[in-house]
Amino acid sequence: MTIGANTEKILTELENNGFEAYMVGGCVRDGIMGRKCNDIDVTTNALPEQMIEVFKGYKVIPTGIKHGTVTVLCGGESFEITTYRIDGEYSDHRRPDEVRFTSDIADDLSRRDFTVNAVAMDRHGNMVDPFGGKADMEAGIIRCVGDPQKRFNEDALRILRAVRFSSQLGFEIDSATAEAVRSMKGQLDGISRERVRDELDKLICGQNAVEVLLDYSDVITAVIPEFEPSIGLDQRSPYHRYNVWEHTVRALGAAPSADLGLRRALLYHDIGKPACMKLDETGRGHFKQHDRVGAEMAENIMRRLHYDNRTIAVTTALIANHSKKLHNKTDVRKMMCKIGDELFFELMEMKKCDNSAKNEFVLEENVFFDQLIGIGKDIAANNECRSVSGLAVNGSELVQLGLKGAEIGDIQHELLELVMEEKLGNQRDELLKYAEQRCIK
């Protein structure tokens, strides 16, 4: 595992002052596995006041003195440094009521959630691994440190974190830990919605997201019960080979793992189907308005999870339009007008992912979606009119024709519609002439 110069400096400062110093947790796990690591956590036998003395030449923030943590800024990076500790009871199922400092790093590692996160390494590459975390990394196993029920009682979010790590790392959850995940999932109801939201976002972008979402759908419905009707619901459609939930998950899995926005929209895109399902006289399923209903449901869920307004707006716009049919360049212009250029291209990718989780013949439509993407790129490159601001006349010129108030907005939108439909050219004289005739009428 290669460590950066700033990390080396932090560890060296502690060692040179007679203290032990280890990197610990996710950074060690990711380093051993060859994954990119963003945050370096350091643990030491130095007490908080001793750390402050060691780093008196640095900017030090007393982030959590009570729990033994200070943050040190070094070379533009921030490092959380925590004294070895033993946690007391977790009466709120999130944070220990009290902590007791210890001089034994093994005691500190024993309080951590999973064995793969309970490995420490010093700057020389020496590891402390009392719970077999490295072996579990090599075997691809997520296993609680000690008793899973005790770990999950301390912090119920660890139930969801186990599933998230399985998704991100592509690891299996060991049987005892998995049993506790399922039996204790109801405790997730007491976890803050922001923490649940952040874990879900990481989970759905994992390399193993499809398998995990299918295998642990009961954990997902514990935090988003609105998905429950989708589990196992036969769509009874010639277009579909999967039930609603499996279709949802496999469509999500077709999106790039780095595209959180697209994966999030796909997670919710068919959540409205159960409420909208109607069977015709042949027994075939139809789902009219499921996109609109799904967008409304997704908005309610996302507000409950405390997403910001922009993220909600973007996600629900994609869901509300994912079933809309586009046939030609005029339709492309109108959709770009409705949701913006960037979201238009994201919508096309969403449609392709959606089709990838249907019966094979539906994939032929993806060729047409690629053509629509090409049309959209041409429209953008040529700056073709697709917004009121792109019209060759402005509101002031319409005022001079005697229009006022809401009339101006109405005529602008009428002109835009005609221009996008190529029934009028986007030339000032032509638009003013049409507007003048409308005024006369």
What is the CATH code for 140-223?
Answer: 1.10.110.30
pLDDT at 249: 98
Q: What is the fold of 227-384? A: Hypothetical protein af1432 (1.10.3210)
SS3 for 70?
strand
pLDDT at 95: 67
Q: How many percent of the chain have pLDDT more than 90?
A: 88
| Full-model pTM | 0.92
Write the burial class of residue 229 (CB in 10 Å: 0-12 exposed, 13-18 middle, 19+ buried): middle
pLDDT at 38: 78
390 has a pLDDT exceeding 70:
yes
What is the CATH code for 1-134?
Answer: 3.30.460.10
SS3 for 354?
helix
Kindly state the average pLDDT of the residues 226-246. 97
70 has a pLDDT exceeding 90:
yes
Write the burial class of residue 367 (CB in 10 Å: 0-12 exposed, 13-18 middle, 19+ buried): exposed
> Quick check: 115 and 121 in contact, CB under 8 A?
no
235 has a pLDDT exceeding 90:
yes
Domain residues of the chain, as ranges? 1-134, 140-223, 227-384, 388-440
pLDDT at 93: 58
CA dihedral 355, 358, 360, 362 (to 10 degrees): -50
Where does 25-179 show beta strands of DSSP type E? 41-44, 59-64, 69-74, 77-83, 85-87, 99-101, 120-121, 127-128, 141-142, 172-173
Kindly state the average pLDDT of the residues 284-309. 98
